[in-house]
Chains A and B, each alone.
Chain A
């Protein structure tokens, strides 16, 4: 039995929702970053799955977009973690609930 596109889409939807759960329900900045990375991985899975099941194209668009998005995710993680360290130096915490100085 060979799997259909639906199976991959459901897997990726589940991964996305778990990432969303991590990003919304945790208070620690690093957890939120992990959640965002998981959502990005789910999106990549979708791109590759659509490329595999869709019509043949030259160049392989889905694969190319996945590669670019991985590169951009790496840059995002670097900047995000640098921000976490900078915030920690300033406030001595990484709990996003305590970062409310701009609140009126």
Chain B
């Protein structure tokens, strides 16, 4: 893991994220959002958590981005003009970023170098999911089922 690779991927990710936040057309913003998430997955790869990176690409590009795109098409007649730039939000975002960066750079205990090569194998994640994380896993399953049914009920055509 070299700094150069991290910085290059981070710049790409942040540029795509900024594009997603500021582009006027919804479709372009969604596609840049997908690019930004691929960048985040790349950072996960560099951190040695390959499985999380793959799951991120799988869930976000394969499901969430496609879902957003479908929603845009279903609500397409809504081409209302965006109001002029909202400076309050921008100011708040910059303030939050400044505050967080200041706090991170001030804290000496996070200026550490990674201990050694550490890879988490899929096998170990599977074992953890089936032993110490069984209850969270079941709860997530229940949550996903509830979300599925809820989303269906929400968009079901109302009978007159």
Contact = CB atoms under 8 A, between A and B. Distances in A.
Q: Per the CB under 8 Å rule, do A and B touch in the complex?
A: yes
Contacts of A49: 47
A49 to B, nearest CB: 6
Interface in B133-151: 133, 136, 140, 143-144, 147-148, 150-151
Contact of A64 (B71, B72, B128, B154): B128
Contacts of A67: 51-52, 55, 125
Contact of B14 (A4, A15, A53, A70): A15
Interface residues of A, number: 73
Contact of A51 (B20, B49, B71, B75): B49
Given A24-B88, A64-B125, A34 B20 contact: yes
Nearest to B110: A5
Contact of A38 (B7, B17, B143, B154): B17
A33 B121 CA distance: 32
A contacts with B: majority SS: helix
Interface in B30-50: 30, 33, 36-37, 40, 43-44, 47-49
Contacts of A19: 17, 21
A13 B100 CA distance: 6
B77 interface: yes
B117 to A, nearest CB: 10
Contacts of B113: 2-4, 53
Contacts of B118: 52, 56
Interface in A13-50: 13-28, 30-31, 33-35, 37-38, 41, 44-45, 48-49
A92 B151 CA distance: 19
Given A71-B59, A76-B147, 10 more contacts: A3-B1, A7-B3, A18-B18, A34-B20, A41-B40, A60-B125, A63-B49, A63-B125, A70-B59, A78-B67
